[in-house]
Amino acid sequence: MGRSPCCDKVGLKKGPWTSEEDELLVKYINQHGHGNWRSLPKNAGLLRCGKSCRLRWTNYLRPDIKRCPFTLDEEKLVIQLHAILGNRWAAIAAQLPGRTDNEIKNLWNTHLKKRLISMGIDPQTHEPSKPITNPPASPSTRHMTQWESARLEAEARLSTESLLSHAHSSVILDSDHFLRLWNSEVGESFRKNKKKEKIVCQSPISQASTSTTKFASTSGLTVENRDDESICKTIIKSESVDANTKSDSSSSNEVEYTTESALQLLLDFPGSNDMSFLQDPIQEFSSIFQSVMSQQLNLI
């Protein structure tokens, strides 16, 4: 029993790559594409396992990789994305063109984590690391709280907007920033994480109610007379829209656009250039959301 090896390791080379090996790999991929990684080393004349070749290519040899040090903006973006996505390096790397998950992971572990600690911020929770009376939420739970809070606020806003929708329906639909974010890859990543955490919601209605309370307490906004059932229906609708998007391979450009624009929305929020967001991410997230809300309500 046990796991079968990823490749036949007998006679295979390990350790640092030589420039000759790099050359062979680049030449082969340029001519044939990588195709099947397992069979690639044999075809390319390399004494490496396919996994090693894939890693070397994706982390080092790929032509679109930036070899320059991280800029301040990139570092800031990594911190912001980490606050939302946690240790999902691949998802973070997807938002930084030319950077690999490995590179970002190393940056985080060697620089950013220490920097946050020295600022008195817990790098996992992104909260001030002073002692508190209540037990701290896990990073995933915190991320979930942020998303749930923002999502419920969007739902609350939609309810408000629905009252005004007879006159302004097209404006409202176009300006729904949060739901676009929620349906994007970033939101998807969050939802996946939620499943991983096994925070199973037997009743969507009860979850919505709990989250409503959570939101009211963290955002300082009052949410009253919420129609839980309609909220859950909207959530389910959002999920199914997302599933449809995923299953449609022809819409890859659209998915990319959605992800990019969603991130842009996140980063374009007023105050997002201010590093003070590190002091209290929940408060910051709420205030950003409130400001987006007021901007949108002004549009109506």
The residues of the shown chain that bind DNA, judged by CB under 7 A, are: 3-4, 6, 13-17, 35-38, 48, 50-52, 54-56, 58-60, 87-91, 101-103, 105-107, 109-111, 114, 192, 196
Q: How far apart are CA 260 and CA 252, in angstroms?
A: 12
Q: What is the DSSP string of 88-129?
A: -HHHHHTTSTT--HHHHHHHIIIIIHHHHHHTTB-TTT-SB-
Residues contacting residue 11 through CB under 8 Å, at least 6 positions apart: 47
- Which of 109, 213 has the CB closer to DNA? 109
Neighbours of 181 (CB within 10 A): 25
- Which of 112, 216 has the CB closer to DNA? 112
- Which of 56, 157 has the CB closer to DNA? 56
- Which of 172, 186 has the CB closer to DNA? 186
Minimum Å distance from CB 289 to DNA?
25
- Which of 68, 132 has the CB closer to DNA? 68
CA 137 to chain centroid, in Å, comes to 19
- The single-letter DSSP state of residue 128 is B
And the tokens for 61? 């040899």
- The single-letter DSSP state of residue 86 is -
- Cβ-contact 127, 281 below 8 angstroms: yes
Q: How far apart are CA 93 and CA 143, in angstroms?
A: 18
- Which of 83, 154 has the CB closer to DNA? 83
End-to-end CA distance of the chain: 64
And the tokens for 144? 């979930």
By C-alpha distance, which of 120, 135, 179, 181 is closest to 155?
Answer: 179
Minimum Å distance from CB 193 to DNA?
9
